[in-house]
Structure 1
Amino acid sequence: MESPSPALPPLDSDVALLTAALLDIHSVSDHEGPLADVVEAALRALPRLRVQRLGDTIVARTDFGLSSRVVLAGHLDTVPLPTTPGARGTVPSRWEPAAGVVPSGLPEDADLLYGRGATDMKSGVAVQLAAAGLLGHDAGPIPGRDVTWVFYDHEEVGSEFSGLGRVVRDAPGLLEADFAVLLEPTDGVVEGGCNGTSRYRVTVPGVAAHSGRSWRGVNAIHAAAPLLSVLAAYEPATVTVEGLDYREGLNAVRIHGGTAGNVIPDACTVEVNYRFAPDKDLRQAHEQVFSVLALAGVDRDRVEITDESAAARPGLHHPAAAAFVAAVGGSPQPKYGWTDVARFSALGVPAVNFGPGDALLAHSDDEHVSAGAVRDCLAALTRWLLPRV
């Protein structure tokens, strides 16, 4: 007997129940197809939306002819399922009452929804879909701005595979807008821009020898000590950009060296990650790292740049961004990690992060989100999209 095809409840259902339905569809990176299929079907059923599919990325747009356009974006994929016995952040989803709350039988505001992607970021995707359902049917209200929805694949893997990056390369016109909201988890607080990130592979040379005659060699692992000492002593900056304080970080994140238990290693490789504030472009970020490595006597020709992603400025001065902050409330905060707001920023589209759930729970064994947080996020987004309501 074949398993039934996955499906979503009506988009005007409780957005918390819609979140649970999304969680129940497995969509680890490289396996987003079934979820992309049901999202596409739900959007194509809305007569006011024009829908296009690029691989497993779905783009839907209103065309009311309004004076401005905004983008609501979110990714469909998740990281792999946890392998820890008893982990609750898995598939299918499960409801549990919050501590001290009597089970209600239905998801109330205090109830918690566990599952892989609950925070990162199927609860945000559910909010996107609920907004599309509100505006996309024949009798729906007219928003203050036209809206583009982007549901994309391959966010949780290498940036070269990103579905959003594919749209940027192949159909950038679909992303033309005055402002964008990425529904990454922020606990319902606006997080402006994002730090950039760059990675480096530093090779420290040595001379191989038998460990019984170690004096005939040069131990490359030992020779890496000055580099590690410089990185350990480095004091990262806090940089204020457009009123938000971005904390930087420069760290060794991986080290490799040695070939056998009786051989002095002839090479040691240290991988370094720099998280930099949006006052710097990529060239300036690289120069900062090279200047620190030079303190350990590391020449540039021993450093390979293995990955780089530009930072994004907050852009909160833009009228659409200011209106968004006013509608959702709270005090904007910086985004310390890198997110796809940087792709929008590179296109000249100011963007912020705003979504339900605690980002610290993302990818965890007990990943979860509260029903109330998802409903609150949808309510805030609706206030902004329908300023006359």
Structure 2
Amino acid sequence: MSTPRSQATTPSSTTTVLDLKGDVAALTAALMNIESVSGHEKTLADAVEAALRLLPHLSITRNGDAIVARTELGLAERIILAGHLDTVPLPTATGSRGTVPSSWDGEVLYGRGATDMKGGVAVQLALAARLSAPSKDLTFIFYDHEEVAAAKSGLGRLVLENRELLNADFGILLEPTNGTVEGGCNGTIRFEATTRGLAAHSARAWMGENAIHAAAPILARLAAYEPATVNVDGLDYRESMNAVKIHGGTAGNVIPDGCVVEINYRFAPDKTPAQAQAHVRELLGGFELVCTDSSAGARPGLNAPAAASFVAAVGREPLPKYGWTDVARLSEMGIPAVNFGPGDALLAHSDNEHVHAEAIRECLAALTRWLS
């Protein structure tokens, strides 16, 4: 008989012991030292679960490699603090510093996951250990498979299988934001635009029709496109639409009979995916378009009662989140949510990924002030 996902796992004798009450920057390094590329989160999930089960004020549920830890104090408000355990694959370039294990250069921590998002996960764990009597009930979510196809998302699985554990008044996703509250997120939609031709020998090109040449008007329309900046609930979201990949042809001496241009449109959260799709189809009317993926954005979430006090505790003017994040999943459940975490998002996935120790400590301090 298989073991239900929600049951506790038994940590092995090799499970890494995490110190949740020490320096949160050192905890970040310890998390980074456990490789957790998407699909291989189990070792880190085991360590996180083992550390959380030592905290008697939390109830713990595990679903695959996702973990939910909750206080049950019966307080008036409940806040979600969420973060993913996985990273993108390790860099292959010689001399890269975005590796596992991590390394220190003074107070700067280098390695895969430094910004995306082991610093944020460390802050979650530190809060879980230190706030046994918070001012608001807390739900900590640690989940797998964020860096791959949305269908594999551990948070998506929790929504389907453990929805009752995710009810909350407000959510914070600890993705890197340089310690500034970033409201909501843009939506994203992808298309394949296909042009078709007639194959022929390139020495007798007049016998064929070049599908790659036929894609030129698609590229011209995209190059001339002027993306909008849309104000949504006081924040300006910059849109973009770009060709992100193109492929076609079979050989160096054959006129290509097919070409595919892959297109990504990042749209402001005032639009639904259906509206975004209509916008792309209008721009590229006359071409064969197939929508391959779409995810709704999320409005800023700053109108929630908890948002004003949180922004005041952080002490910085909120900004929009241009990229898509899992605040959109929370928003779909009716939970207003923002992004807030240590590190520069521009360094995420890079061969030079790093985070300053003080940035992690400041993020922890701001959340501690607000939740204490």
Map 1:364-383 → 2, pairs under 5 A? 364-383=350-369
Give 1:9 deviation, angstroms: 3.4
* Separation in 2, partners of 1:194, 1:31: 27
Letter in 1 for 2:108: L
Residue among 47, 55, 63 paired with 2:72: 63
C-alpha separation in 2, matches of 1:163 and 1:143: 26
What is the CA distance between 1:8 and its match in structure 2? 3.4
The answer on whether the counterparts of 1:6 and 1:25 sit within 8 Å (CA) in structure 2 is no
Could you say which residue in structure 1 is the equivalent of 2:7? none
Query: Offset at 1:317?
Result: 1.1
In structure 2, what is the equivalent of residue 19 of structure 1?
28
Q: Deviations over 1:220-264 (max 9, x none)?
A: 000110111000000000000001000000000011110111111
Task: List runs of 5+ in structure 1 lacking aligned partners.
Answer: 98-110
Letter aligned with residue 80 of structure 1: P
Asked if the contact 2:187/2:297 (under 8 Å) is kept, the reply is yes
Q: Is the 8 A contact 1:8 1:21 kept in 2?
A: no
Distance across 2 between alignment mates of 1:214 and 1:341: 52
Q: What SS is found at the alignment partner of 1:133? A: helix
Q: How does 1:157-196 map to 2 (within 5 A)?
A: 157-196=148-187
Asked if 1:93 is matched to 2:99, the reply is no
- Give 1:105's aligned residue: none
> Are the aligned partners of 2:18 and 2:47 in contact in 1 as well (CA < 8 Å)?
no
SS of the aligned residue for 1:348 comes to: coil
Question: 1:1-389 to 2 correspondence within 5 Å?
Answer: 5-97=14-106, 111-135=107-131, 140=132, 142-294=133-285, 297-298=286-287, 302-386=288-372
CA shift at 1:175, angstroms? 1.0
SS across alignment from 1:308: strand
SS in 1 for 2:262: strand
Matched-pair identity in %: 67
Unaligned runs of 5+ residues in structure 2 are 1-11
Summarize deviations over 1:47-89 as a string: whole Å, max 9, x none. Answer: 0100000000000000000011010000000011111111111
Q: Which residue of 2 aligns with 1:104?
A: none
Q: What SS class does the counterpart of residue 256 from structure 1 fall into?
A: strand
CA distance in 2, matches of 1:128, 1:253: 34
Amino acid at match of 2:123: V
- The alpha carbon displacement at 1:4 in A equals 7.4
Whether the 8 Å contact between 2:198 and 2:256 is mirrored in structure 1 is yes
Check conservation: 1:28, 1:78, Cα contact below 8 A.
Answer: yes
Q: Matched residue of 1:82: which SS? A: coil
Where 2:300 maps in the other structure, the secondary structure is: coil
Report the 3-state secondary structure (helix = DSSP H, G, I; strand = E; otherwise coil) of the residue aligned with 1:30. Answer: coil
1:348-374 CA-to-partner distances (Å, cap 9, x unmatched) read: 000000000000111111111111000
The letter of the residue matching 2:362 is: D
CA distance in 1, matches of 2:114, 2:326: 19
Check the 8 A contact 2:98/2:352 in 1, yes or no. yes
Aligned residue for 2:309, secondary structure, equals helix
Q: Deviations over 1:21-55 (max 9, x none)?
A: 00110101110000000000011111010000000
The separation in 1 between residues aligned to 2:258 and 2:20, in whole angstroms, is 57
Contact 2:52 2:60 (C-alpha < 8 Å) held by counterparts: yes
The answer (yes or no) to whether the contact 1:8–1:22 under 8 Å persists in 2 is: no
Name the amino acid aligned to 2:184: G
One-letter code aligned to 2:124:
Q
Post-superposition Cα deviations, 1:184-234, rounded to whole Å, max 9, x if no partner, equal: 000000000000000001111111111111111110000110111000000
In structure 2, how many angstroms separate the alpha carbons of the residues matched to 1:250 and 1:206?
Answer: 26
Check whether the contact 2:184–2:300 (CA below 8 A) recurs between aligned residues: yes
Instruction: Please report the TM-score for the alignment, with normalisation by the length of structure 1.
Output: 0.91
- The one-letter amino acid of 2:309's match is A
Moved more, 32-41 or 318-327: 318-327
Over aligned residues, Cα RMSD in angstroms? 1.1
What secondary structure does 2:294 align onto? strand
Q: CA deviation at 1:6?
A: 4.2
CA contact (8 A) 1:154 1:163 kept: yes
Shift of residue 143, structure 1, vs aligned partner: 1.3
Question: 1:174 Cα shift?
Answer: 1.3
CA distance in 2, matches of 1:169, 1:47: 27
* SS at 1:84 equivalent: coil
Task: Give me the whole-angstrom Cα distance separating, in 1, the residues matched to 2:173 and 2:18.
Answer: 23
Deviation of 1:5 after TM superposition, in Å, equals 2.0
Q: Name the aligned partner's letter for residue 362 of structure 1.
A: A
- Equivalenced residues, count: 361
Q: Are the aligned partners of 1:8 and 1:18 in contact in 2 as well (CA < 8 Å)? A: no
